[in-house]
Amino acid sequence: MKQKKRVLTGSGFHLKAVFSTMLMCTKQIFDGGFLCVAGGYFVQAVQFVMLIFIWRSLAESGALSEGTSLDRLMTYTLMSTIFHQELNIISPATSSLWEGSIIGRFLRPMPVEISFFAETIGRWWIPNFLFFGLPLWLLSPVLGIRPWPATGLSGLLAFFSLILAASLGFAIDLLFAAFAMHLKNGCFAALAVREAVYSLLSGEMIPFSMFPFGIGTVFSLLPLGSVAHGPLTIYTGTAGNPWAVLGLSVLWNIVLWTAAVHIFQKSKERMISFGG
């Protein structure tokens, strides 16, 4: 019998199954106790404090580039820390190849790709925001950091830009998962390559405005530039043209999602899964 061809992998699409997966993963993250995940929050907090000290030291020495505001720079760093999981998406797509757990995902009542997304939101987004991001945002005025967007419109546009950035991040993550399938047992090599380029080229850690020789402008036009640089500059009011930033993000979403779905589908033919 000829089956209907689907864009995504898997059978059916039940919203109840998606939300159940998210809830289950949110609960699982604390199975070993809060201290099991507190270490990750501590590392993020230390990195945030170090960056704040660096920016303040540069401002005091007059080393910040012309037109770079210390207040906006600290707000930029604050929001990049709070939304780290949404701006630097690492789904179980690559690690599940090594674990062998990817096989079971083909039996779930949802596309495999949607399963990865639901697990990422449940396991990382929700706990990270509730137990780290939100408290840090509320505490930031005490640290002398302005947590609010530049304007109400900037905040609204930044929200839509964040949605587009997360969508783009998932597409990029699928492309790296496809790359890992071609590497066969080199899954962690794919993750290492990803980590080496992601934070720098996305502008999550260092704003592009601080890059010399106009390199930041070039990076902002690349796909990774729309992941972190886009929503963060809109939020802080440093984006020259927010609508152009949103338009570029939409364009990259169309291009990379088209490529990700096609390449991931083709790469499954070369998939080798270890473990179980």
* pLDDT tens, residue by residue, 199-216: 778 888 888 988 888 898
Q: Is 237 within 8 Å of 157 (Cβ atoms)?
A: no
- Residues in CB range of 111: below 8 A, 6 or more apart: 6, 8, 9, 10, 13
Per-residue model confidence (pLDDT) at position 76: 95
> Which secondary-structure segment (H or E) carries 47?
helix 35-60
Per-residue model confidence (pLDDT) at position 128: 87
Residue 91, SS3 per DSSP: coil
User: How far out from the chain centre does Cα 223 lie?
Assistant: 13
For the chain, what is the total number of helices (H) and then of strands (E)? 14, 0
- Domain range annotation of the chain: 15-270
Rounded Cα distance between 235 and 103, Å, is 40
Closest by Cα among 89, 66, 63, 87 to 76: 87
User: Which amino acid is located at 229 in the chain?
Assistant: H
pLDDT tens for residues 38-50? 778 888 899 999 9
What is the Rg, in whole angstroms, of the alpha carbon atoms belonging to the chain? 20
User: How far out from the chain centre does Cα 114 lie?
Assistant: 16
Q: Is 26 within 8 Å of 117 (Cβ atoms)?
A: no
Mean pLDDT of the chain: 83
Q: What percent of the chain has pLDDT over 70?
A: 87
In this predicted structure, the answer to whether residue 173 has a pLDDT above a threshold of 60 is yes
Joined tokens for residue 146: 């302005």
Higher pLDDT, 234 or 275: 234
Q: Is 149 within 8 Å of 143 (Cβ atoms)?
A: no
Mean of the pLDDT values across residues 161-175?
A: 92
In this predicted structure, the answer to whether residue 95 has a pLDDT above a threshold of 60 is yes
pTM of the model as a whole: 0.85
Joined tokens for residue 148: 């609010």
Rounded Cα distance between 131 and 187, Å, is 30
User: Which amino acid is located at 150 in the chain?
Assistant: A
Q: What is the DSSP letter of 2?
A: P
Provide the pLDDT confidence category of residue 177 given band limits of 50, 70 and 90: confident
In this predicted structure, the answer to whether residue 259 has a pLDDT above a threshold of 70 is yes
Task: Classify 110 in phi/psi space as left (phi over 0), alpha (psi -120 to 50) or beta.
Answer: beta
User: How far out from the chain centre does Cα 37 lie?
Assistant: 18
Per-residue model confidence (pLDDT) at position 30: 67
